[in-house]
Chains A and B, each alone.
Chain A
Amino acid sequence: MEAPTADPLPLESVRVLEIGGGISAAFAARWLAGFGADVVRIDPEPEMLTPDEAVYLLPGKRRVRGASAGDLLTLARAADIIIDDGPPGALAARGLDPARLRAGRPELVIVSITPYGQDGPYAPFPATNITAFAMGGIMSLTGMHQREPLVTGGSQALYLGGLDAAGAAITAYLGALLHGEGDWVDISLQESMAGMLELYGPRGAYEGAVSIRSGNHVRAVWGLYPCADGYAGVCALERQVPALFALLGDPELEEPRFRDPLERPNHDDELQAKLYAWFGERTKAELLELGVRHRVPIGAVVTPLELLENPSLRERGFFDAVETPAGTALVPGRPFLGLPWRPGRLSEPVPAADILAAWSTRP
């Protein structure tokens, strides 16, 4: 690794105002804070994050409680980037109309994250993680066909909005550096997901054919199986299928009905049965080792608790330690290596006046 070590944090002295209080804005601003931005979060009252979410999403930020409308406007006018996940119109209702703020300061970047975007017939509709996930299309593909569609774990719709907001905020800020003008970015959770439907999105659009959720097995060679100590999976492309079959060592797999990629789907149940048996006899560690040795894409279902001990993540310094009243938490830190990152501390809310003084002048 030849990443320079003496470099400043990439977003050092960039002022970010986080408003709204949800996971989406907090996650986007968390990355900006880690890469050096001076993030001030307007705490919602009551707090919207769970204690565990707060431990992950709030380190490295200064928090303000009880800011007046005048304080907010002063902060907004001093910010380089504003990230908001309140409903459409909420910013304007707090005296922070994006168009008006931008008119005064063309370099300002505002990123709004909402379930459906700023306009269109659904714009006023409320949403939660699961209803947003449903409207984004991924849920129709997730879960068993015999049962109801299943939401993916955690708060994926909200995090995806935050991920898109972080990328768009940095990109629009770069645009301001290069061309002198920021923008108002309109992130819709629905659009965040509707544009990532793998082959199923374009298939639906091009062929008019609905793809139905297929549980843990898109195909036998692309699925998740119980193994001796949990669950493990294989995702073999056509060019990797011979190596997978060699691992299984079953002479029947030499027959054309399994070898021929166009024939194989007609015998998928039979092939699945063989894979169930093969996986069932092996542990996750054995399967991962076989995968790497024979270049077959094999994975294992691991929990966050197991990942805390993962040697790769440890060696690569993935986790940030965060001191909390309940002890030291380990949470995901820098999303990638190569640019300086600053793990942050949790802090108590401060009066707006403390920030106003610091933000009243440019460093």
Chain B
Amino acid sequence: MKRLPLEGIRIADLTMMWAGPYATRILAEMGAEVIKIESPRAWDNIRTLIPQPGVDEPWNSSYYFNDYNRDKKSLTLDLAHPLGRETFLQLVPHCDVVIENYRADVLDNLRLGYGVLREARPDIILVSMAGYGKTGPERRHVGFGPIIEQMSGLASMTGYGDDGVPFKTGISYGDPVAGKAAAAAVALALVQRRRTGRGCFIDLAQREVLSSLIGEAFAAASLRGETPVHRGNRDPRAFAQGVYRCAGDEQWLAITLRTREEWERAAALLGIDPALPGGPSDHDVIDARLAEALAGRDPQEAFELLARAGIPAGRVLDTVAIHDDPHLAARRFWVQLPHPRMHPWKQPRTAWRLREADPWPRRHAPLFGEHNSEILRGLLGLDDDRIEELRREGVIGDAPVNPGVG
């Protein structure tokens, strides 16, 4: 079987919540061994962010946590405890990469900055992914979730257009975007290490990565002083474009008619009048006719009718329908992994579909501290007395201390 690109790479993963764990989920699927490190006192809050009443060990039974942490190993270590810090520095020489998404000052406060890590392993790669980076006057701002989207410029570009209101994307959009970029940064740093023999310190600001996804708006701003115009779902490059309600509960279809000819073809397919008055109201007329024609139609049938005719259309797939999409099923995009505390559910594979190596999620997210013994005894060679001491001191544990609502 063909080897995965990151086979043989070991990553010490200090990340929590979403942006960092999203990066290391990709890296794990690409073949890296990812050791997720949490303190029994300061564990990944995402475990209990969505309270699940009546569940045993809620910290092990969260679909949110488990979806983004599969294929990883779990090691507990309280880095704020001298023994925890010492044990971590024993682990670093066995790792190629350390990755963290703490607030900008936290790693240095733990006395685990790049200089310290490099003493433990000279060619270590450290990836930090604070909201605004490790330097600059905004480095102490608490930045996550939609905050990053607002501060990146993107939120200013999203809106219906008739009310002047900017909109947030419906997910914490900056997180996975930063995660994808951080995974790329790890790979690039490994390329560099292969060429030079040296590691590096990657200072990734989540806000900057997201700004990189709207580069043309910065060109418009710097060349002509432009500020974003909200266009709702329209696009001035298209002949017409919009989102139209179909039959069913909250079922919608997005359509782009790139040319007048596509409009006429769509009109013929949907049995509507293609004649337009001519003038600025044409788009409104098209919207009204499409809305009327689609209101009673099944969204999947309408989507396929238009798409098969070469007209760009797409269902606004909701969070249940997307798991039933026949195309994603044919692509084997969703996988179900057995889990000791939960019934299986459809989890997404990485979008980095290497057709030959065929990366595949292998194992459910680890239980809290599940790999303590494997790593402390097996990898670091600690003896029973030492491990017992770590346990006694609360440096390691099998359950979070005082788990409440995230």
- State which residues 218-232 of A face B: CB under 8 Å: 222-224, 226, 231-232
Cβ–Cβ contact B216 & A137, under 8 A:
no
Q: List 10 A-B contacts (CB under 8 A).
A: A1-B203, A53-B216, A56-B219, A126-B311, A163-B177, A171-B6, A233-B150, A261-B51, A304-B221, A329-B218
| Chain B contacts for A148, CB-based, 8 A | 233, 242-245, 252
Cβ–Cβ contact B211 & A171, under 8 A:
no
Nearest chain B CB to A205's CB is how many angstroms away? Answer: 4
Determine the distance from Cα of A57 to Cα of B219 in the docked complex, in whole angstroms: 10
Contact of A336 among B154, B175, B181 (CB under 8 A): B181
| Chain A contacts for B146, CB-based, 8 A | 222, 224, 233, 235, 299
- The reply on B351 being an interface residue by CB < 8 A is yes
| Chain A contacts for B392, CB-based, 8 A | none
Determine the distance from Cα of A135 to Cα of B316 in the docked complex, in whole angstroms: 6
| Chain A contacts for B226, CB-based, 8 A | 305
| Chain A contacts for B237, CB-based, 8 A | 50
Cβ–Cβ contact A313 & B135, under 8 A:
no
Determine the distance from Cα of A122 to Cα of B308 in the docked complex, in whole angstroms: 9
Cβ–Cβ contact B148 & A292, under 8 A:
no
| Chain A contacts for B148, CB-based, 8 A | 299
| Chain B contacts for A190, CB-based, 8 A | 327-328
| Chain B contacts for A167, CB-based, 8 A | 26, 180-181, 183-184, 187, 352
| Chain A contacts for B326, CB-based, 8 A | 121
| Chain B contacts for A249, CB-based, 8 A | none
Cβ–Cβ contact B194 & A197, under 8 A:
no
Instruction: From known contacts A301-B156, A304-B153, infer whether A331 and B318 are also in contact, taking CB-CB under 8 Å.
Output: no
Nearest chain B CB to A272's CB is how many angstroms away? Answer: 15
Cβ–Cβ contact B147 & A233, under 8 A:
yes
| Chain A contacts for B368, CB-based, 8 A | none
Cβ–Cβ contact B176 & A319, under 8 A:
no
Closest to A185 in B: B354
Cβ–Cβ contact A137 & B156, under 8 A:
no
| Chain B contacts for A327, CB-based, 8 A | 223
- The reply on B312 being an interface residue by CB < 8 A is yes
- The reply on A354 being an interface residue by CB < 8 A is no
Determine the distance from Cα of A299 to Cα of B187 in the docked complex, in whole angstroms: 31
Contact of B352 among A50, A139, A168, A199 (CB under 8 A): A168
- The reply on A8 being an interface residue by CB < 8 A is yes
Closest to B342 in A: A206
Nearest chain A CB to B259's CB is how many angstroms away? Answer: 12
- The reply on B30 being an interface residue by CB < 8 A is yes
Determine the distance from Cα of A141 to Cα of B26 in the docked complex, in whole angstroms: 23
- The reply on A154 being an interface residue by CB < 8 A is yes
Instruction: From known contacts A4-B198, A332-B211, infer whether A179 and B356 are also in contact, taking CB-CB under 8 Å.
Output: no
Closest to A28 in B: B184
| Chain A contacts for B323, CB-based, 8 A | 204-205
Closest to A260 in B: B405
Determine the distance from Cα of A97 to Cα of B67 in the docked complex, in whole angstroms: 36
Closest to A318 in B: B208
- State which residues 349-367 of B face A: CB under 8 Å: 349-357
Cβ–Cβ contact A308 & B218, under 8 A:
yes
Give me 17 other A-B pairs in contact (C-beta within 8 A), A173-B187, A177-B194 excluded: A7-B198, A31-B184, A134-B253, A147-B160, A159-B214, A168-B352, A174-B191, A201-B67, A201-B319, A202-B67, A202-B347, A204-B322, A299-B150, A304-B217, A308-B218, A311-B136, A312-B205
| Chain A contacts for B144, CB-based, 8 A | 235, 297
- State which residues 176-226 of B face A: CB under 8 Å: 176-177, 180-185, 187-192, 194-196, 198, 200-205, 208-209, 211-226
- Looking at B82-90, B166-174, B265-273, B373-381, the stretch in contact with chain A turns out to be B166-174
- State which residues 174-201 of A face B: CB under 8 Å: 174-175, 177-179, 181, 183-188, 190-192, 194-201
- The reply on B114 being an interface residue by CB < 8 A is yes
- The reply on B340 being an interface residue by CB < 8 A is no
- The reply on B165 being an interface residue by CB < 8 A is yes
Q: Which 9 A-B pairs have the closest CB atoms?
A: A141-B170, A153-B157, A175-B5, A131-B314, A312-B136, A204-B319, A167-B184, A56-B215, A299-B147
Cβ–Cβ contact A203 & B63, under 8 A:
yes
Instruction: From known contacts A134-B254, A183-B355, infer whether A338 and B50 are also in contact, taking CB-CB under 8 Å.
Output: no
Determine the distance from Cα of A143 to Cα of B316 in the docked complex, in whole angstroms: 12
Cβ–Cβ contact A197 & B213, under 8 A:
no
